[in-house]
Structure 1
Amino acid sequence: MKYQCIQKLNPRAFKRRFGVRRKTFKSMVKTIKSFQKINKHSNPGAKPIIDIEKQVLVTLEYWREYRTYFHIATSWGVSESTICRIVHRIESELMQSGMFRLPGKKALLQGLSQPEVVVMDVTETPIERPKRKQQEFYSGKKKRHTLKRQLIINQETGEIICTFFGKGRCHDFALFKASGINFHPETQGLYDSGYQGINQYHSNSYTPKKKPKKGNLSILEKDYNRVLAKERIGIEHINCRLKIFKIFGDRYRNRRRRYGLRCNLLASIYNYELSLPEAKFQTPTIT
C-alpha cells in the first residue's frame, strides 16, 4: 500500500519526498538491475524480501529523512538489519556501476576541456563526539566535532568536479594542500578568506581582501570583495542543495569511513540531475 501511494505522487511531490526527480529514481533502478544482472553469480542467496524499486526508495528515504533504521523498518514492514543491508548494498552497487561518478581532479588538467572558472569551498557536517582522538575532530569555528567536505565546482555549469574530506580541526587551506589538487594555469580560481596564500600554488587565484590591522578597507577593495562574493555564491547554493538530504544536514551518526562514499554518491546524483533537460543552473550575473 505504501508503494502504491508513492506511485501516485506528482513530480514535485516526489522530489520533495525523496530529494530526487522521478527520472533519476528510474535511472538508479535501471543501473542496479543492470549491475546485478552482470554480477548475478557474485551475490548468491535467497530472493530479497522487497524488490529493487522499493530498495532504492528505502535508500533515498534514509538519505532524505535520516531516520533510524528501526523507524524506516517499521514503515516498510521488514527488520532493522534488513534496512541496514539494503542501504549499504544499494550505495555500494551504485558506486561500483560507474553510472554515478564524479569527473575527478584529472578533469581540472585536461587541456582545452578544463573549466575556465572553478570555485572551491569547505563545509562541515556535525558528528557525534568520538570516543578517541576527540581534538582531531573538534572544529573551533563550529564549536563542535565535525567532518569537513571540500567541493570544487565548475562555475559556468554548476557541476561538482571533485571532493576531498578531512577532520574538523584541519584548516581549509591545509585540507586543500592535503588533497593534492592542481589547477590548470589558465583556470581562474575563486575562493573565500580561508584560502589566503593559495597564490603560491595557483597564481590565477582570487581571494577576498582582508581588513588590515588597525585600518579599513578602501571603497575599491570593498567593491572587489562584493563582486567576488557574488561570483562565489553558486557553490553555497550547491551546498544547500546537498544538505536537503538530512544525512548531511543533521548530525552524522554513522561510521566515518562511509562518509566519503555517500558524499561522492550524492554529489554524482546532483550532477546527473543537473544534466536533465529541465534542470537549469543559473550563475549570478555582475552588472
Structure 2
Amino acid sequence: MLTYEKLSRKPGTFRRLTGVSVGVFSEMAGKNGPLWEKRRNNYEKGGRNHALPGVENHLPAMLIYYRCYVTYEFMGFFFDCDETTAMRAVKRIEKMAIRVIRIEKKRGISASDTEYLIPDATEQPVQRPKRKQRKSYSGKKKGHTQKTQYITDPAGRIRAVSRTYPGKTHDFTIYKKQKKRDRFCGVPKKADNGYQGIRKYDKNAEIPYKKPRGGELTAEQKDFNRRLSKKRIRVGNTIREIKIFKIMSDTYRNRRKNHNLRANIIAGMVNMKITERELRKAA
C-alpha cells in the first residue's frame, strides 16, 4: 500500500506524483488537520476505520488523482483498496480542502493591493455531452470544451477563479459576468485581444493594438504590444502550473459541477507553491 511515509522518503518522486513539494504538502496537512479531527469526533465515534487512515494519507490520494488523473480503479490498486473506497476518500478530503486551501476570497481588490491584474481564460476538453452539444462546442479547439478564467497579479499569484463555462462562451463574456462578483474595477488590467471592449467597463485596462486592415502598426504600437506581452507572461506561467495537474488539462471525465471546486483547490495549491518559491529566494 502506498502511504505518505513511503512517499516522503523520496522528495523528487513525491513532487512528480503529487505535483507539490513535501513542504507544501506539510502546510496543506496542517491546515486540514483540525477539520479532520473535528469530523472524526463528530461523525466517526465507534465506526469502522477508513482504509486510508488519517489526513496524511487522504491528501496524497487527492493529489495523485489530480496530478495523474487516472481511474479510481487504478487508484484503488495503488492504495490497496477498492475503487469505491478510493473515490470516497478523494471526495471526503475535497470537502475539507476547499475550505482551507482555496484562494483567499476578498470582497474586492484595490490598486493599493496590487499594481495591476492579468485576466486570461483557458479551455479544457470534455466528453461530448448528450444534450446541448452546440453550447459546449469550441470553434477554436474544434471540439467540446469547458472554459475557466483566472486572474493573477504581477507575481503570478491567482486572485480570482471564475465559474466553469461551456467552451462556446467568449472570454470577454466570462469577464463581464465575473466582474460584478470579483469587484476589481479599480485595478488596471493587462488583457489580450480576447477582451476587446474591456475599456467600456474598465477605463484603465490595456489590450494590444490590432493591426489595421491593409495597414501596419507604428513602432510605438509594436513596442507597447511587446511590453504588454512580457507582463502577461505571468498568467501564462500560472496556467501552465495549473495544467501540471492533468485533471485540469486532459479530457475531463467527471461531473461538470465538481470542476469549479477542483479548479479552486488547485489554484490555492499553486499559490502555496509560489509562496514557497518566494520564501526560498528570499532566504
The 5 Å alignment of 1:87-106 reads 87-96=90-99, 99-104=100-105, 106=107
- Tell me whether 1:8 sits opposite 2:23 in the alignment: no
Distance 2:112 2:218 in 1: 38
Indicate yes or no: 2:81 matched with 1:78.
yes
Cα distance in 2 between the residues matched to 1:71 and 1:270: 25
- How many residues are aligned here? 274
Q: Contact 2:76–2:83 (CA<8 Å) still a contact in 1?
A: yes
For the residue of structure 1 that corresponds to 2:247, the secondary structure is helix
Aligned partners of 1:183 and 1:202 also within 8 Å: no
Q: Deviations over 1:6-62 (max 9, x none)?
A: 23203x332122101112212222333310222335433321112122221111110
Given that residues 14 and 21 in structure 1 are in contact (C-alpha distance below 8 angstroms), is that contact kept between their aligned partners in structure 2?
A: yes
Against the structure 1 CA distance between its residues 103 and 6, is the aligned structure 2 distance closer, same or farther, given a 3 Å change threshold? closer
Identity of aligned residues (%): 34
CA distance in 1 between counterparts of 2:132 and 2:280 reads: 43
SS at match of 2:7: helix
1:80-159 alignment to 2 at 5 Å? 80-96=83-99, 99-104=100-105, 106-109=107-110, 113-155=112-154, 157-159=155-157
Q: Residue 208 of structure 2 contacts residue 225 of structure 2 at CA under 8 Å; is this kept in 1?
A: yes
Unaligned runs of 5+ in 1: 282-287
Alignment of 1:13-24 (within 5 A): 13-24=13-24
Secondary structure at 2:117's aligned position in 1? strand
Matches of 2:92 and 2:9 in 1, distance apart? 27
For the aligned residues, what is the CA RMSD?
Answer: 1.9
CA positional deviation for 1:178: 1.1
Using the TM superposition, name which of 31-40 and 221-230 deviates more: 31-40
**1:103-252 matched pairs, under 5 angstroms:** 103-104=104-105, 106-109=107-110, 113-155=112-154, 157-165=155-163, 166-179=165-178, 180=180, 181-185=182-186, 187-252=187-252
Q: 1:226 to 1:280 in 2, by over 3 A?
A: farther
**Bigger CA drift: 173-182 or 130-139?**
173-182
3-state secondary structure, aligned to 1:267: helix
- Partner residue of 1:49? 51
Q: CA deviation at 1:249?
A: 1.6
Alpha-carbon distance in structure 2 between the residues aligned to 1:126 and 1:105: 30
Contact residue 189 and residue 204 of structure 2 kept, 8 A:
yes
CA distance in 1, matches of 2:196, 2:125: 25
Q: In structure 2, how many angstroms separate the alpha carbons of the residues matched to 1:279 and 1:68?
A: 36
Report the Cα distance in structure 2 between the residues aligned to 1:280 and 1:133, rounded to whole angstroms. Answer: 48
Inter-partner Cα distance in structure 2 for 1:207 and 1:167: 24
Gaps of 5+ in 2: none
Distance 2:280 2:121 in 1: 24
Larger displacement relative to structure 2 (144-153 or 217-226): 217-226
- CA 1:209 to 1:20, structure 2 compared with 1: closer, same or farther past 3 Å? same
SS at 2:248 equivalent: helix
Question: Counterpart amino acid of 1:231?
Answer: K
Counterpart Cα distance in 1 of 2:132 and 2:68 = 29
Partner Cα distance (2:107, 2:136) in 1: 29
1:159–1:274 CA contact under 8 A, matched in 2: yes
Judged with a 3 Å threshold, the aligned counterparts in structure 2 of structure 1 residues 279 and 130 are, in CA distance, closer, same or farther, namely farther
Tell me the TM-score normalized by structure 2.
0.90
Name the CA shift for 1:277/1:196 in 2 (closer, same or farther; >3 Å): closer
